Amino acid sequence: MRWQALVSLGVLKGMGVTLKTFLETYPWGRGLLRTLRIPPTNGLVTVQYPDVKQQHAERFRYFPFLVYDKTPDDLRCVACKICEQECPPQCIHIVGPAKDAQGRPLKAHGRTFPVAFDIDMSICMSCRICVDVCPFDAIEMDNQYELSSSGRWEPMVYDKAKLLKSAEYFQQIKPAEASEVDARLAAKAKKAAPPPT
């Protein structure tokens, strides 16, 4: 008979697994399993999301930001437009570098700078290619991820003011990567500086 074959050893064994997993999600159940000397495996693995947040990895990336060094006008970006060109979904839009009335490039802290730097958050796919290609380490990935909003244009298109974040902030969220970048920039500054006379 077909039904006899159904309820037998294999099914009972499977039910044993589900029972064990069920018990492991409760403190008393874990105690019971300990008393019976059954080795524990997983326990409860989920968290109650908006109330409890899981720690994400240091490298976790979500949306780019522009790094400035000391004051917000001292940004590392020189408006070379490499990231705009290489961005796979083409979500970066740069106007610049800034020029004066005669068409000569304006400089702030010895560098050219962009007039406008917009990133469309709804198009960005968090791939990190802009960070890889930037020769000046001016753009980095942020780890803020709760960026939803109800409007399409105003809140979603991040302009220069909204994208600017300090180097200290970068150091704070990604210490390993930031130290690497700082070392690279220091080496570059040393090379560029005129030899002492």
Among 88, 179, 184, 186, binds other proteins (CB under 8 A): 88
Among 1, 35, 37, 42, binds other proteins (CB under 8 A): 42
Q: Is the dihedral of CA 164, 169, 173, 178 positive or negative?
A: positive
SS3 annotation, 103-134: CCECCECCECCCCEEEEECCCCCCCCHHHHHC
CA-closest candidate to residue 124, choices 160, 96, 87? 87
Residue 95 interacting with other proteins (CB under 8 A): no
CA-closest candidate to residue 65, choices 148, 159, 156? 159
Among 25, 71, 85, 172, binds other proteins (CB under 8 A): 85
CA-closest candidate to residue 100, choices 82, 116, 110, 112? 112
Residue 18 interacting with other proteins (CB under 8 A): yes
Please report, as residue ranges, which positions from 110 to 169 form the binding site for other proteins (by CB under 8 A). 125-129, 132-133, 135, 141
Please report, as residue ranges, which positions from 176 to 195 form the binding site for other proteins (by CB under 8 A). 176
Q: Give least dist CB 5 to other proteins, A.
A: 5
Q: How far apart are CA 96 and CA 188, in angstroms?
A: 24
Residues contributing to the site for other proteins (CB under 8 A): 2, 5-11, 13-14, 16-18, 21, 41-42, 45, 56-61, 85-88, 125-129, 132-133, 135, 141, 176
